[in-house]
Amino acid sequence: MSAASSSVAADPDAAALKPLLGLIETVEANYAGDPPLRRDEVVKQAASGMVSSLDRYSEFLDQQKYKDLQEDTRGSFGGIGIEIGIVSGKLSVIAPIEGTPAFAAGLLGGDVIAFINGTPTDDMKIMDAVHRIKGPPGTKVVLTIQREGSPMRDVPLIRAIITPVNIRDTVLEASGIGYVAIHSFSEHTAENLYDALRRFKEGKLKGVILDLRSNPGGLLQEATRVVDLFLPGGVAIVSTEARDPAQRAKYYSSEKMEVPQFPLVVLVNEWSASGSEIVAGALKDHRRAIIMGRRTFGKASVQSITPVSIDKTQALRMTVARYYTPSHNEIHEVGIEPDVTLPASRYPPGMRRYFDESAFNRFAAEVLIAIGPAGAGTVWLDAGALKAGRLAPPGKGAAPEKVDGRIGVEFRRWADRQGWNETDEAWDELEDSVVEQVRIAVMRKVKGEESARRYAIEFDPQVRTAAALLTLSSSVPAAGRPR
Amino acid sequence: MRRDLAARGLLSACLLTGLLAASSAPALTDEELEPFLNAMAEIQRKYVDETKVDTATLLRKASEGVVNALDAESLVLDPAPPPGPAGPGFAIGVRGGLAHVIDVIEGGAAEAAGLKVGDHLLQVDGKDTGGEKRLEIERFLAGSAGSKVWLLWEDEDGTYREAQVERTATARPAWRRVVMPGAEFIQVFRLDEAAADQIRSDLASAPAAGGAVLDLRRCAGGDPDAAIALADALLPGGLEIVTGRGVNAKSEHRYEATRKSKPVGVPLVLLVGPGTRGAPEILAAALIHHRRALAVGKGTFGYAARQKDFALPSAGGRKLRLTVERFTAPSGICLTGTGVGAELSAGEALPRRIERELERTSLVGRLAERLFAAPPAAFDAAALQAGNLALSAQESKGKSVAERRGEFERAFQTAAEALVREAGLGVSRDTLEQARLTLISRVRVELAKRHKSPEDALVVRLREDPEAAMGLDLLRAVRRMSGAAQ
């Protein structure tokens, strides 16, 4: 199979192919299935079957899959700018993205999408809904929105170019630490990170947290560029090994202009994969960052995407290389062990149904309605503080922490009314997470999605631990080193 | 066999050559194969692991990809015989990629393990059934008698259950006649050509006044041609039996009943349910549509298609079994996915809560045992020894039928309550009241099973089976009405 393999494409081994061709022709001519299989579909299924024997990252991409994938990696597409999901069995808006047509039209998280261009969404699969909502920029889509307490209404939206946010940065208020989360590595990720680091420099921050949790990877090149920002010139970032010489490479950091440098903590978890592991692996090997969190996923392979049809609408995604960290550590199936392992940050299982039923958003909405626009009628929350996005007990002298206990009591009462009676034992386990989620939901209602996200980050125990480590280490040289 | 049918004039010669012969398609061109060939070349040149790219493996996987895209009845047949003749005692049907339990054999190991019709079989010896072909799953289940198989399934409440079950050989005939007073009662387990032929002659020779019950509830297979032949014998000429659709609209064929002097005229009741699958659904759909039979029970499984085996060149004797014809009922409904509905239902079963309580306490078995061992005075001790449950002569003396029935039920309730109390079974009085009639039936069946011959026990079981009883009642009513008309 060695010398002959290169000639297969030009002149396929007719004898070897014959059984497959016979099978395809027999199926096409005789199969009375529902739906019937057309010839091109049978060929596609043969290709899918062949590719499925390789590994789980290799896939034959038909027209639709290839199109979706191109959008995912291109970093932008035509759409209206909402995340959607199934909430309580109904297709719903999870959150609008700021600066998009959906945001401008006032769509909110929790809005139920009853129809898309007049088609009911009752039995619609989520991917089907996504395909109906997306489309060329400048074209129109009408969503029929049902919001709790309001009549159903049609919302016409003109599609625009949507660039999903793959990177978010903020400064943690409590600690003055910079925080950047990279959700996946796509075009411009490193550029956006560079901009964030510059902003942090202006703010004279003591350290930076790079959050790669649940980042599944993305473009290899972009991951190496991210590493490059943190390393001096000329050191190894990652190397790939492959059968195809074109895929064998060693990436080194570049000689470059000044990039702001900070003490760095990288947060990872069991869903940090591929590109995330390149970044964490290189920064760990060069001792440039402390890796915190959970052992990473362990996907150390590179896939290439090659169009295989004449019209370039079908493609093969296949694993062409494995990569190794600078110290040639095996990542495949092993993952990267953090320097500091943190407990898994999972919600207790009982939280699941509250999320599924959108309970926190609903509770927050009821609390805010109870308080009313005049700010009167509140018994357990300070209306003035609430307008500023803070939850505090009424009265000037009361300690803000006291409100946590009250949130718990009020939410549990409300949950009982919904018929979700929790035992005391179950409640003990849930209370902290519930209070946190109520706070986030109230923030979302009062100050919007962005503030809620920032609030959630501040509250995240792993982020807090990372920030504490950076704060502590920044104080060590000044305090501990003799002059 | 097809020749026989043709000789009977059922299938026209044109049909034989047109529909059933393997059609051939124009050969695939390089252009049509391009995406496949390019992908294969890319893999062989560049895929990271050299050990996975040999031509034979890739092409075998490609073939599997094609077969996996076909329905659950289309597959490549393994030339090796199945691993053994025994099984855990249940039948499955595959729909939507899920293996549905459609029949659980009475007294079998699966029944003892708590498997129920309507459950979803998820794993067999650790192998997932999801997306598998039906015959493949049946291969997992088969083995030698006495060997064990581990099952994982999901019950109707969504609870996962597992059990290690011993395989037993169950030799069920394709069909059997049960001698019931006043009517022919025919249980069909497999509607193949021989069975259809014998059932037809059996029905033809049955006294027209008596009528017949055709029990298709445990008939999960057979031959579409056999079903068509039996329907033909029962229907007047010219009526549509079923319509088959092949690979495209052009290959549609309407199967009609042949012109004949006199179709078999015996009044018919069909018993159907989720265990009725395939060929018997064709028969039921035709007879119900043309009002040739009444159907009692529940909706059928919903699958009717014809498969044909194709030789696969250079595949080591393996064959491709392919669905080549799908059937549409005379009502225009595609049988696959929809099935045939029963017109009459014998009522709801007990609530699951109560079923589980009866199961947990083995109440039926315990009651049968106790009544037999220590007959209460109200019951006829001699009858009990023969496996019958009846009021004693003393108790029934001078009482009307209604009074006797009341007396019988009271005596049964007393015996059941006494047992529950003494054995500390914790079954409430309410539950016993609600389940009383079902309990009486089941205890009768249990007593018959323990103390009667298998033939007699079967008669008792059918008499106590609400759907069978309803079928027999219907025939009795038909007899009375036709008698009144004469």
What average pLDDT does chain A have?
84
* pLDDT above 60: residue B257: yes
Amino acid sitting at position B352: R
What average pLDDT does chain B have?
87
Three-point CA angle B203, B209, B210, nearest 5°: 65
Would you give the distance in Å from CA B136 to the centre of its chain?
Answer: 19
Residue A92: strand pairing partners? A85, A112
Of A135, A150, A134, A146, the C-alpha closest to A90 is A146
Its ipTM equals: 0.81
Q: Using CA coordinates, name the residue in chain B closest to A13.
A: B55
pLDDT band at B16; cut points 50, 70, 90: very low
Compute the distance between CA of residue A183 and CA of residue A164 in angstroms, rounded to an integer: 10
Three-point CA angle A338, A211, A57, nearest 5°: 75
pLDDT band at A482; cut points 50, 70, 90: very low
Q: Tell me: the pLDDT tens digits for A328-367?
A: 887 887 899 999 998 876 677 788 788 777 788 888 888 7
Q: What is the residue-wise DSSP string for B68-125?
A: HTS-TT-EEEPSSPPS-SBBSSEEEEEETTEEEEEEE-TTSHHHHTT--TT-EEEEET
pLDDT band at A432; cut points 50, 70, 90: confident
Q: Which two tokens stand for residue B485?
A: 């008309």
In three-state secondary structure terms, B32 is helix
Contact A48 B325 (CB under 8 A): no
Residue identified by tokens 């790939």 is A240
**In the prediction, which pLDDT does A245 show?**
93
Q: What are phi and psi of B165, to 5 degrees?
A: -125, 140
Query: Is A54 in the B-facing interface, judged by CB distances under 8 Å?
Result: yes
Compute the distance between CA of residue B65 and CA of residue B67 in angstroms, rounded to an integer: 6
Contact B39 A47 (CB under 8 A): yes
Give mean pLDDT, residues B256-265. 87
Nearest C-alpha of chain B: how many angstroms from A65? 15
Residue identified by tokens 């940050």 is A345
A21 or B314, greater pLDDT: A21
Of B256, B282, B292, B293, the C-alpha closest to B338 is B282
pLDDT band at B10; cut points 50, 70, 90: very low
* pLDDT above 90: residue A106: no
Contact B39 A49 (CB under 8 A): no
pLDDT band at A227; cut points 50, 70, 90: very high
pLDDT band at B107; cut points 50, 70, 90: confident
Nearest C-alpha of chain A: how many angstroms from B320? 8
Query: Is A245 in the B-facing interface, judged by CB distances under 8 Å?
Result: no
Give mean pLDDT, residues A41-52. 92
Active site annotation includes A447: no
Q: Tell me: the pLDDT tens digits for A439-452?
A: 888 888 888 777 88
Paired sense of beta strands A112-116 and A140-146, if any? antiparallel
Least confident piece of the model among A430-434, B65-69, B466-470: A430-434
Length of chain B in residues, anyone? 486
Q: What is the residue-wise DSSP string for B344-375?
A: B-------HHHHHHHHHHTHHHHHHHHHHHS-
Would you give the distance in Å from CA B270 to the centre of its chain?
Answer: 13
- Determine contact, residues A164/A78, Cβ cutoff 8 Å: no
pLDDT band at A5; cut points 50, 70, 90: very low
pLDDT band at B12; cut points 50, 70, 90: very low
Give mean pLDDT, residues B21-29. 65
Of A470, A461, A481, A476, the C-alpha closest to A176 is A470
Q: Tell me: the pLDDT tens digits for B230-251?
A: 999 999 999 999 999 998 777 8
**In the prediction, which pLDDT does B480 show?**
80
Query: Is A451 in the B-facing interface, judged by CB distances under 8 Å?
Result: no
Nearest C-alpha of chain B: how many angstroms from A35? 10
Of A224, A240, A251, A222, the C-alpha closest to A320 is A240
Q: Using CA coordinates, name the residue in chain B closest to A246.
A: B46
Q: Tell me: the pLDDT tens digits for A153-173?
A: 999 999 998 887 789 999 998
pLDDT band at B264; cut points 50, 70, 90: confident
Smallest Cβ–Cβ distance between B310 and the set A26, A47, A306 belongs to A26
Contact A13 B55 (CB under 8 A): yes
Compute the distance between CA of residue A465 and CA of residue A402 in angstroms, rounded to an integer: 23
- Determine contact, residues A30/B23, Cβ cutoff 8 Å: yes
Task: Give the largest Cα separation in chain A, rounded.
Answer: 89
Would you give the distance in Å from CA A31 to the centre of its chain?
Answer: 42
**In the prediction, which pLDDT does B90 show?**
94
**What's the alpha-carbon Rg for chain B, to the nearest Å?**
27
Query: Is A34 in the B-facing interface, judged by CB distances under 8 Å?
Result: yes
**In the prediction, which pLDDT does B260 show?**
82
pLDDT band at A286; cut points 50, 70, 90: very high
- Determine contact, residues A267/A462, Cβ cutoff 8 Å: yes
pLDDT band at B314; cut points 50, 70, 90: low
Active-site choice (A284, A299, A301, A445): A299
- Cα B220 to Cα A158, B295, B301, distances in angstroms: 55, 17, 9
Of A450, A446, A437, A469, the C-alpha closest to A168 is A450
pLDDT band at A422; cut points 50, 70, 90: confident
**In the prediction, which pLDDT does B15 show?**
36
pTM of the model: 0.72
Amino acid sitting at position A419: G
Smallest Cβ–Cβ distance between B313 and the set A18, A45, A321 belongs to A18
Q: Tell me: the pLDDT tens digits for A22-43?
A: 899 889 889 998 777 888 889 9
Active site annotation includes A274: yes
A174 or B254, greater pLDDT: B254
Three-point CA angle B95, B99, B101, nearest 5°: 110
**In the prediction, which pLDDT does A10 show?**
44
Query: Is A355 in the B-facing interface, judged by CB distances under 8 Å?
Result: no
Neighbours of A129 (CB within 10 A): 19
**In the prediction, which pLDDT does A450 show?**
78
B347 or B232, greater pLDDT: B232
Q: Tell me: the pLDDT tens digits for B398-419?
A: 888 888 989 999 999 999 999 9
Smallest Cβ–Cβ distance between B61 and the set A9, A24, A52 belongs to A52
pLDDT band at A476; cut points 50, 70, 90: low
**In the prediction, which pLDDT does A96 show?**
81
| Contacting residues of B for A37, CB less than 8 Å apart | 69-70
Of B1, B63, B360, the C-alpha closest to B193 is B1
A479 or B217, greater pLDDT: B217
Compute the distance between CA of residue A388 and CA of residue A76 in angstroms, rounded to an integer: 34
- List Cβ neighbours of A135 (8 Å cut-off, separation of 6 or more): A78, A79, A141, A159
Smallest Cβ–Cβ distance between A46 and the set B36, B38, B308 belongs to B36
Amino acid sitting at position B98: L
Amino acid sitting at position B166: E
Residues 281-310 of A with CB under 8 A from B: 301, 304, 306, 308-310
Q: Which two tokens stand for residue A461?
A: 């125990």
Q: Which two tokens stand for residue A114?
A: 């009853």
Superfamily of domain B175-338: 2-enoyl-CoA Hydratase; Chain A, domain 1 (3.90.226.10)
Q: Tell me: the pLDDT tens digits for B135-175?
A: 999 999 999 999 999 999 998 888 899 999 999 987 788 99
**In the prediction, which pLDDT does B315 show?**
64
Least confident piece of the model among A34-38, A373-377, B202-206, B306-310: A373-377
**In the prediction, which pLDDT does B19 show?**
39
**In the prediction, which pLDDT does B104 show?**
92
Smallest Cβ–Cβ distance between B66 and the set A46, A52, A308 belongs to A46
Active site annotation includes A285: yes
Compute the distance between CA of residue B298 and CA of residue B218 in angstroms, rounded to an integer: 12
**In the prediction, which pLDDT does B457 show?**
92
| Interface probe, candidates A6, A23, A241, A305, chain B, greatest B C-beta count within 10 A | A23
* pLDDT above 80: residue A88: no
**In the prediction, which pLDDT does B25 show?**
65
Of B420, B454, B413, the C-alpha closest to B437 is B413
**In the prediction, which pLDDT does B483 show?**
66
- List Cβ neighbours of B465 (8 Å cut-off, separation of 6 or more): none
User: What is the number of CB-based contacts under 8 A between chain A and chain B?
Assistant: 209
**In the prediction, which pLDDT does A6 show?**
38
Query: Is A38 in the B-facing interface, judged by CB distances under 8 Å?
Result: no
| Contacting residues of A for B327, CB less than 8 Å apart | none
Q: Domain residues of chain B, as ranges?
A: 90-166, 175-338, 352-452
Compute the distance between CA of residue A295 and CA of residue A272 in angstroms, rounded to an integer: 9
- Determine contact, residues A291/A340, Cβ cutoff 8 Å: yes
pLDDT band at B96; cut points 50, 70, 90: confident
Give mean pLDDT, residues A294-306. 90
Q: For chain A, what percent of residues have pLDDT higher than 70?
A: 91
* pLDDT above 50: residue A425: yes
Query: Is A249 in the B-facing interface, judged by CB distances under 8 Å?
Result: no
Give mean pLDDT, residues A224-242. 94
Give mean pLDDT, residues B288-312. 93
Contact B70 A31 (CB under 8 A): yes
**In the prediction, which pLDDT does A73 show?**
63
Compute the distance between CA of residue A431 and CA of residue B71 in angstroms, rounded to an integer: 49
A52 or A210, greater pLDDT: A210
Q: What are phi and psi of B246, to 5 degrees?
A: -90, -140
Q: Which CATH architecture has domain B90-166?
A: Roll (2.30)
Burial of B157 (0-12, 13-18, 19+ CB in 10 A): exposed
Contact A247 B37 (CB under 8 A): no
* pLDDT above 90: residue A263: yes
Compute the distance between CA of residue A90 and CA of residue A356 in angstroms, rounded to an integer: 10
In three-state secondary structure terms, A296 is coil
* pLDDT above 80: residue B340: yes
Q: Tell me: the pLDDT tens digits for B169-207?
A: 877 889 999 888 778 899 999 999 999 999 999 998 877
Active-site choice (A62, A211, A285, A382): A285
| Cβ density class A419-443: b for 16+ within 10 Å, e for less | eeebeeeebebbbeebbbbbbbbbb
Q: Using CA coordinates, name the residue in chain B closest to A302.
A: B48
* pLDDT above 90: residue A388: no
